[in-house]
Chains A and B, each alone.
Chain A
Amino acid sequence: MIEMFEEWYKSRHEYAKEWKDKTGGKVMGFFCTYVPEEILLAANVLPVRILGSHEPQNVTEPHIFGMYCPFCRDCLAQGLLGRYDYLDGMMIAQSCLHIRQAFTSWKKHMPPEFTYYLPMPHQVQSPRSIPFLRSELETFKTAVEQWVGKEITDADLDRGIELMNASRQAMRDLYDTRKTANPPMTGLEAMYAAVSNQWIDKAEHTAVVRDVIQKELPGRNLGLEGKTRLMILGSEDDDTAFVNMVEGCGSVIVTDDHCTGSRYFWNQVEPEEDRLLAIAKRYITRPACPTKDWPQRTRLDHVRMLAKQWDVAGAIIIQQKFCDPHELDIPEQRKSLDGIGVPTLFLELDVTVPVGQFKIRVEAFLEMLAEDDLF
């Protein structure tokens, strides 16, 4: 059952194509987790997050200057290589500048039938951002209605909200199982579950998550008790080879703060009469991406809370090379975790991970944590 997530992770394109054949519905590629999937689900559209493939490539150089993060270039490469040729639509919600270029170049050179740029506000700490986002959601909803040729009713929005909320709750429950002294699943399995959730039909994914929680995890003993408990945080990260290596060194990853992980599903839409307002509030108040975390640094408290509740001994801070948003947070993030006695290891990721080099550093970090434990 739990292997389903890995299968989905590996067969994302086949899955989406089959979904299209089966349902006759439209597929929307999206670039950032601030995209209000509730509205897409309300229109019976399948949202699929566009991610890279972690292979060296030589197709993006004419399109994105090499000073931007490898993740955005890897994403664009997928488009240029035709791997997402089944997309009917493609959109982005405003987040960092880097990933925006993957969207704009893709749109320019391989436009699907529908594209959309949602100006998600950055000043999420201002109460002004909620009515503004609400109005942008209204405009977006109208655009989607025109695209799919069907009105999106309140009942449709309710369905979208319920699907997203159910999925979020299921993922929260799944992550909660990792709080135990002997986690019933590895960090790698959790990554497969969290990342595949960003492109699999929500109802289908939630059903499997629920089944796993109820039927598979109880009593499951992977012998993880006593392993060094770690959290991972930072830039986009769906690098399973990396996670596998870290856990192979005698640790277990028990939680994360990534847009490919817990940030995606952390909070729910609190239903209210004005559905779009309810959705707007959810995206404004979700755990912030660093691009939106100002003037206060709310991420520090959130990450400390995760570290405490999941009882981690150390944290690996991952930064995609050139990722300005995280580079701007990492020094404070490190100080903050240090302040609660959680040492950090900083690693810079590229499209492919120099596993051997990183392994030595991870081992040294784990040794250091083990010594800390002794004294």
Chain B
Amino acid sequence: MAKYPTETLLSWSKAKEIRETYYKNYAAAHDKGGIRWVGGAWTFDAVPAGLGGDVYSLTSEPYGASCAFNKDFSTRAMEAAETAGYARDLCAYMRNYWGSILMNEYAFGGPFPKPDFIWQDHICCSHAKWYQVVSELEGGIPMFCVDVAVGPAEPFGTLTEAKIDYVAGQILDGIEWLEKTTGRTYDDELFIEACWNDFRSTSKWAQVCELNKAVPAPLDEKTMYSLYVLATLQKSWGVVADYYDELYDEVKDRVERGIAAVPNEQARVMSDTQPPWSALKLFRYLEQYGVVSVGSLYTFGLEGMWDFDPASGDLVPRPMPSKKPTTREEAARELVRWHLHKPEYQHFYDCDYKSQMMIAMCKNYGLSGVMLHYNRGCEGLSLGIAENRLAIQETGYPVMTFEGNMGDEREFDLGRTMQRVDAFMETLGVKKVAA
């Protein structure tokens, strides 16, 4: 008999519906005279929201992941990018995305829907350049990109006013650019509302993740991928913010009733960086050992907003700003202050910051070990990963590494990875449990 009761997550199908609506909205935007824009999962999506209620986005990383999920499509897309002269070791999401444009195929069917403009931000070397190429491939569509790489936020650094001025200043310039580019009048109220939704979504997602401190864990990482993705699509969308409220209540209820994601949970691990999307069965394989992956700094902190408290050595969901901004300027500054604390931004400046946060997770989530995906597809999130490995090991947590690629399955070997998992389980002293 299973150690813990388990139940399907009731709000899972709703997440799926929201995701489908999102992609359909984008494809159909022009039918109703609306606007379509593209940008990354980290972009300040609250900003274009001020252009009206009929403005729809397509974010690139989740799109790239969707491509990767479809092996045949992805292989053709990447070959198209390579034929166009782009190196095979570049960001795999980016190559999937470029390939879609080059083949003029949308991963969800039909021709690739051309955007009206690009609204991006930049911290990884590939962010702005990704869209520079998109703009060129699409015949020169207008592009605006906000540089957010001003150095680490507290507690690792200090977000000075000058740093906030720089980023918020670009956003304010961007708003004028949006008006000029689209010929629409910008609505500050809509912008402020969207910022507030963004704070709600990203703060609440962190609170959902924090519930995974419970034993048994109410969520496993594979399920979390289907949930956190909504924030990567459009964190400033009220529908997403409302959904996370609902999700939080459901997960909290699971914790209170002792509902497990993995019914035979006997050990807990976490991963790092994006998984190889075409091989998520790796997580199901862990379940055979009664091992649950409770998340990662990636699933927690790519969109979730946290404060790292070195004194307690824990990551704490960042509390909502005390009041709603009232002006465009205030909203821009608050948005910047908020986002620059993103855990997944900090490691861009120093591997040590990420190690500290990961070690905090090991301690506070009762982990037995860590599985690091050395991800050839993402130069941004694999940054410093070898040092993370050393630091975590030094603290006494066993680490398994496996090489792969989140978006190019040609660089991932499932069989070999499973063998590594077997060996790792032996190190952890965990044996397969009867189904």
A and B together in one complex: yes
Q: Enumerate chain A interface residues (CB-CB to B < 8 A).
A: 61-65, 67-68, 94, 96-98, 100-101, 104-105, 107-108, 117, 119, 121-123, 126, 128-129, 131-132, 135-136, 139, 290-291, 294-295, 297, 319, 322, 324-325, 327-332, 334
* Interface flags, B110-128, vs A, CB<8A=1, else 0: 0000000000001011101
Q: Kindly identify which residue among B89, B143, B160, B384 contacts A135, using a CB–CB cutoff of 8 Å.
A: B160
Is A136 touching B162 in the complex (CB atoms < 8 A)? yes
B133 and A122 within 8 A (CB): no
Contact status B125-A132, CB under 8 Å = no
* Interface magnitude class on chain B: 35 or more
- Asked if B382 and A65 make an inter-chain contact with CB atoms under 8 angstroms apart, the answer reads yes
Shortest beta-carbon distance from B198 to chain A in Å:
21
Whether B133 contacts A132 by the Cβ 8 Å rule is no
Within the complex, the shortest CB–CB distance from A361 to chain B, in Å, comes to 17
Contact A295 B132 (CB under 8 A): yes
* Interface pair B165/A132, CB less than 8 Å apart: yes
A-B contact pairs, 9 of them (CB 8 A): A96-B125, A121-B149, A128-B173, A129-B166, A135-B160, A139-B160, A324-B90, A327-B86, A327-B89
Contact of A328 with B90 in the complex, beta carbons under 8 Å: yes
Q: Which residues of A contact B376 (CB under 8 A)?
A: 67
Question: Could you tell me the distance in whole angstroms from the C-beta of A66 to the nearest C-beta in chain B?
Answer: 8
Q: Of A98, A132, A330, which is within 8 A of B162 by CB? A: A132
A62–B150 touching, CB < 8 Å: no
A-B contact count (CB 8 A): 134
B204 smallest CB distance to A (angstroms): 30
Q: A67, B125: Cβ atoms under 8 Å?
A: no
Q: If the complex has contacts A63-B387, A322-B89, are A122 and B351 also in contact, measured as CB distance less than 8 A? A: no
Instruction: Name the one of B135, B170, B348, B383 contacting A126, with C-beta atoms under 8 angstroms.
Output: B170
Contact in complex: A119, B151 (CB < 8 Å): yes
Closest residue on chain B to residue A290 by CB atoms: B129
* Cβ contacts under 8 Å, B227 to chain A: none
How far, in whole Å, are A61 and B386 apart by their CA atoms in the complex? 8
Q: Is B374 an interface residue (CB 8 A)?
A: yes
* A64 B125 Cβ-Cβ under 8 A: no
Nearest-CB distance from B138 to chain A (Å)? 13
Please determine whether B90 and A100 come into contact, CB atoms closer than 8 angstroms.
no
| A24 vs B133: C-alpha distance when bound (angstroms) | 50
Please, which residue of chain A has its CB at the minimum distance from the CB of B377? Answer: A67
Bound: A68/B169 CA distance, A: 33
A275 to chain B, nearest CB (A): 17
Residues of chain B lying within 8 A (CB to CB) of residue A328: 90, 125-126, 129, 132-133
Q: Are B125 and A325 within 8 A (Cβ)?
A: yes
Q: In this complex, what residue of A is CB-closest to B168? A: A128
- Which residue on B lies nearest to A118, using beta carbons? B151
